[in-house]
Amino acid sequence: MTPETPRRSGLRGFGRTGPSPWTDLDRPPLDQEVLRRDLVVPGGLWTSLDVVAETGSTNSDLAERARAGAPQGAVLVAEAQSAARGRLDRQWTAPARSGLFLSFLLRPEEVPVERYGWLPILVGVAAASTLDRVAGVEVGLKWPNDLQAVIDGTERKLGGILTELSGGAVVVGMGLNVSLRAAELPVPTAGSLALAGASTTDRSVLLRALLREFAGLYGEWTAAAGDPHASDLLRAYVDRCSTLGRQVRVHLPGDHELAGEAVAIDGDGRLVVRTADGARRAVGAGDVVHVRPEPR
């Protein structure tokens, strides 16, 4: 399945009769051929890279390719998505070319399946490191992998990461708000690199840097058979995790809630919360809310 067969894949390219992608000069389209030349190189992780004007969900499209046997390293980038979703099946919406909306396919055969849960954390560390270095924005990771930055004195979400198993592969999806203006934010808690004062909002620069950073960290992680200690992934994540040391409320499956202090990340990537009675509980899934300290 390729972007050259849009009727079957649901992908739509830049048609001559449609609106020009150059309508908003602050948001130029990505150049597929240049990105391929720079990223799809012999011996590298990335084996293909496609940019489409619009699709429902890059994760869904790439999951279909995975079931058809697509190799590791396939990257699919959409200028716009109409049915994107994040964690807990939340909808993700943004104007065309205002962010990076992409998925990539991994087959970490050297890694035991029980360690696949570290992959979204690995992507988060790669993204946060890239944005610090390339865009000059200090990015924290709210457990497990929400990308956050402080904008006007408040933590705002810049992006999120979603992983899915499909056809024996892992499909990693990522959405990152790059140039969204204040009036375009879908919710008050959202933000963008532009609003965070980024030194660059050039999506080509950011995408190249992100995929290269991830490829390097992924190589170290797979060489260590996914061990978060041997690969140094756990330490790198703890250094970036903005949840640790905070009072939190964790909304758990089944409409339950856990409150306490986030004190650690364990060897399985779970958040360890110390409750008021001193007990420690490891949480593997849930929606975390950072609780602001009471004013004195």
Domain boundaries along the sequence of the chain? 6-239, 243-290
pLDDT band for position 90 (cuts 50, 70, 90): low
Residue 21 preceded by cis peptide, ω within 30: no
pLDDT at 104 > cutoff 80: yes
CATH 2.40.50.140 for domain 243-290: no
Q: Sign of the C-alpha dihedral, residues 48, 43, 200, 159?
A: positive
Give the length of the chain: 296
The answer to whether 242 touches 141, Cβ cutoff 8 Å, is yes
Mean of per-residue pLDDT scores for the chain: 90
Model confidence pLDDT, tens digit, residues 132-157: 999 999 999 999 999 999 999 999 99
Q: From CA 189, how far away is CA 155, in angstroms rounded?
A: 8
Q: Please give the average per-residue pLDDT across 34-48, as a whole number.
A: 98
pLDDT at 293: 60
Q: What is the mean pLDDT of residues 240-263?
A: 94
- Torsional class of 292: left (φ above 0), alpha (ψ -120 to 50), beta (otherwise): beta
* Chain mean position to CA 37: 23
User: pTM higher than 0.85 for the full model?
Assistant: yes
At residue 6, the pLDDT reads 34
CATH topology of domain 6-239: BirA Bifunctional Protein; domain 2 (3.30.930)
d(CA 258, CA 282): 10
Check: CB of residue 226 under 8 Å from CB of residue 118: yes
Element (H, E) at 49: strand 48-52
* CA 151 to centroid of chain Cα atoms: 19
